A and B are shown apart, each in its own frame.
Chain A
Amino acid sequence: MNSTDRVLACLNHEEPDRLPVFALGFDYFFCDTFYREIGFTRQEKENYAKDGLFFAPPYNFPIHLKMGVDVGWFSVAGGIHVEEGQMVDTFGSIQTAIVKDGIPMNWFGGPYLTSETKIKEWWAKDRPKKYGASLFGTLKKKRDILLKNHHGFCLIGGIPGPFELISMPLGFALMSKLMRKKPELVHELMERNWIVSREALRRQLKEGQKIIMCGDDLGMNEGLLLRKEQWQTFIKPTLKKYVDEVHNGGGKFILHSCGKIESLFPDFVGIGIDGVESLKPQLNNLNKLKEKFGKQISFLGCVDDTHLLFEGTQEEVYKTVQNQCKILGKGGGFIPGGTNFIGNIPIANYQAMVRAIKEYKFS
């Protein structure tokens, strides 16, 4: 079995020869440590450069390969506009970059569509615009090379999910207000975003993408970021369209969502989501979820990267991860790895996690 076979077996609820290691990506802090402590040999550098695999964090696949990862993610991003001295993505989220002590990072910088007037002006400028076509070629090229030259490495494609495409551009205050007072405007926004997203999903499927994961953070540590009923009214119908589109194109659909989201699992199963990624174990009762939904939905991530990988010992990491493999891996449906982009954690702990996953034997 190669890495992609293992991933597909897991998603089909079969036990593979060994569990595959998942990584959402490695951020700038981790890359900085990696290059100081490990780095690449000249030969590796030449090979990866020849394959065109070097990329900006978090999708720097040579690092995935060197760390022993089997499956990674490449989520294509909407284009950028410059508005009022800020970079704003085509859906209306401000994108911020900073450099601190020589290490760069970029992240969501706040909402740009902060009023109904701004939303309408945005639409008047014919935004959101569709994704740049060459993105899909880049994704396909990387996926095919990783598959062919690197032990069947599995590259999952992706785009942002429907909730992030309204919560980030509008901000929570305006989004909640509009959900209460102008639901028709929220539905229109969802529909306009969906038209652009649908095209991006179709392009990825047309390029042969078999697994698509959409990032759509719905939770925080304490619970959902919006009321469950609001999610069911405004977000779920569009998320179902994502799932159906991917299934109709012959693919598997995975949802990435941080936070405590276990209350949404019945809905996830109901709309046919194939897997959920992140699933921080201290926020979600994974054993219970596995028992209840484990035959219908796969679990990805699940290894605590804020405490265990960050401050645990290598022995603790190894033991905890092997125990998770035993419980969650039974009958397939488990693709373990850190719950989010890997940041400034000790590299030895990450290696202990990879060893624990690869050395786990199904009984």
Chain B
Amino acid sequence: MSLSKTPENNMEKFPAWLYMLIWPSSKDGRLKDAAKNYHLKFIFEFDDFPPACILEIKEGDFQVTPLTLVESKSLRNKKSSGIDGWVIGSFDKLIAVSWSLKATIGGILSRKIRIRGVFKFLKLLKIIGYKGPFSENQNRGNGGALNE
């Protein structure tokens, strides 16, 4: 069964935003091309925008699974969990890149954003086609605009 079509795929808040970010490239087939030889698993845990979740990219498909904080912490600390890395901290700081790159770098330097597995994370960003907050799959088309 396709990872992105599992029936329990009902979610909200951060996992829904993450899912929405990747969904278009999954539907139009770009993800399948970019990720066919990859298997990556990342945890995202933002204190200010819960719940945490796992993003798994496998053989050209993806799955987002919401996690409780306890599950997320336990998986992050367990060596045998198969996790390639994690991004934790403040989502507000992370998306501050939309105002200035300086603010996001500041967030990383001040450890308000922490990333484990940086190189695999960069690979993950490349696979999902994420080039920046205002690039092609930045999805707030409807933000101002979806309000119409």
Q: Residues of A at under 8 Å CB distance from B? A: 24-25, 28, 31-32, 35, 39-40, 45, 49, 52, 54-60, 62, 73-82, 85-87, 89, 93, 95-108, 129, 132, 134-135, 138, 158-160, 164, 168, 215, 217, 256, 258, 340-341
Contacts and interface: CB of A to CB of B under 8 A. Distances in A.
A104 B23 contact: yes
Contact of A35 (B19, B27, B98, B138): B27
A75 B144 contact: yes
A82 B91 contact: yes
Contacts, number: 173
B104 to A, nearest CB: 12
27 contacts: A32-B27, A49-B30, A56-B138, A57-B141, A60-B24, A75-B141, A75-B148, A77-B141, A78-B143, A80-B98, A80-B140, A86-B49, A97-B13, A99-B64, A101-B10, A102-B9, A105-B20, A106-B140, A107-B147, A108-B146, A129-B99, A132-B98, A132-B134, A138-B135, A159-B144, A164-B148, A217-B147
Given A93-B147, A95-B143, A134-B135, 6 more contacts: A28-B23, A56-B138, A57-B142, A104-B20, A106-B142, A340-B148
- In order of increasing CB-CB distance, the 9 nearest A-B pairs are A215-B148, A77-B143, A77-B144, A75-B145, A56-B139, A104-B20, A82-B92, A97-B16, A102-B9
Contact of B24 (A55, A97, A100, A107): A55
B60 to A, nearest CB: 14
Interface of B: 4-7, 9-13, 15-17, 19-21, 23-25, 27-30, 46, 48-50, 64, 90-92, 95, 98-99, 132-148
A54 B9 CA distance: 24
Contacts of B138: 56
B65 to A, nearest CB: 12
A272 B15 CA distance: 44
Contact of B95 (A49, A82, A168): A82
Tell me the dominant secondary structure on chain A's binding face.
mixed
Tell me the dominant secondary structure on chain B's binding face.
loop
Contact of A85 (B28, B48, B148): B48
A159 B19 CA distance: 25
Contacts of B137: 54-56
Contacts of A164: 147-148
A160 B144 contact: yes
B141 to A, nearest CB: 5
Contact of A56 (B10, B12, B46, B141): B141
B7 A97 contact: no
